[in-house]
Amino acid sequence: MELYRRLSSVLFPVVTIALVGTALWGYQVNQEKNTILIKAENQYQRAFHDLSYSMDKLHSELGNALAVHSKSHLFHKRCLMNVWRMTSQAQSDVNQLPLSLIPFQHAEQFLSNLSKFSYRNAVRDLGKQPLSDQELKTLEELYNRSGEIVQQLRTVQTNVLDQNLRWMDVEVAMATQSNSYDPSINNMIVAGFQDVNSKIGEYAEVDWGPSLDKKFQMRSLALIEGPEATEQQVREKAAAFLGLPDGSQLQVSENGAGTEFATYSVAYRPNESQSASMDFTKRGGKLIWFMNSRAVSEKNLEPDQATEVAQQFLKDQGYESLTAVTYDEFNNVAHMTFATSQDGYVIYPEKVVIGVALDNGEITSLQAGDYILEKKPRELGKPQMSEEEARSRLNPELRIESTGLAVVRNELDQDVRCREFTGTIRGMKMKVFLNADTGIEEKVETLNQQA
């Protein structure tokens, strides 16, 4: 009994201190958790109210563009640039909200097209090519539709403020869903955004005019030629690419079934320190992306050796008529860009980016989506402007090291023939692309090291 009393006198304070410590620790953890939740909620609230404000200002700016005379070129340019800026802000606000599983694709596509429409019309010379009657009609239609979106967002905003709704409840509600939206979710914010998306989806197609290339909008994996590949065929292709006897160790999953962007993803993890991932197009079964995540601790290959390894790999994979156009090194991995060569032109939109480990020459990455999606017959012809005339339009301080012909994509998403000049100015290595027919400066790039 005496021993029990002694033990109690010692253990009771210890246990009490432990319980108090545990309670304080739990309280602190709970406080930190609440702080994080409050911070996230505040960020969501700010993004939502910013979105409502941006859409309201965007609607007003479209109205301003319609209010002036059709020949007020400078005012139209300013209004369209403001619309583009506000649309970009609205897109940024949308991306900060937990809407990934809510059907909102119609609204996002509307904002994307509006951004392109406003930018491409704003950057052109409206003095020589003013807005057409059809484009003014499109502006009026966009003004009316954006007004309806503003009203719907205001309804959601009123509900949020009046009923003190929380965006964290939206995130929790959506997190309980696997990969699809459940329309039975009882949340007023979710319902409000679903209404906005549905309303936009009911609109007739906007005539965006020549400023928005419909063919470019439809750039998708569905345009790839060839039959649809099966999961087993992709498994066999991936195994052959990785040098495996079979595909039993590979995990294959289909993405975007039934859509224009259907792909297969392949995962390979032989051990804890190594893993590889790949994406194949469903149509045609073409490899468009590969990543082998491993550390490269030393450098044994020189740039010309790495380039030779990459060229041989691309040739083995069926990529033909490619020219190395850039070379960079990072963490002992060489990252190179290759582009198609045709009739003396380097076609930059048709490009492949490849990574080579500089310890043993292993291929660590491949990005071939641009090459596969942009590959097409091209009638190039001869440039109208001579190299000498194009040189005269360059900054005289540019020390030219090499010249050539190229096809690049300008800010209007148009492919243009260019005179390409590589050189240095003020210690920087640059590529300057001048339109081969007009001499206009289409693009300027800063380089680290040229292949």
Q: Are 419 and 436 in contact (CB under 8 A)?
A: yes
Correct CATH for 223-374 of 3.10.350, 3.30.60, 1.10.3470, 3.30.310:
3.30.310
Q: 224: which residues sit within 8 A by CB, 6+ positions away?
A: 281, 283, 284, 286, 372, 373
Tokens (6 digits) for 380: 């190039």
Rounded to two decimals, the pTM is 0.58
DSSP β-ladder status, 415-425 and 333-342: unpaired
Q: Are 303 and 334 in contact (CB under 8 A)?
A: yes
Of 6-20, 50-64, 229-243, 388-402, least confident by mean pLDDT is 6-20
Residues 88-146: tens digit of each pLDDT = 888 888 777 776 556 677 788 788 888 888 887 887 777 778 888 888 888 888 888 88
What gap in Å lies between CA 242 and CA 370, rounded to an integer?
Answer: 22
Mean pLDDT calculated for residue range 410-418:
82
| Domain positions in the chain | 17-212, 223-374, 387-447
* Identity of the residue numbered 3: L
Q: Flag whether pLDDT at 82 surpasses 50.
A: yes
CA angle 375/379/381 to nearest 5° reads 135
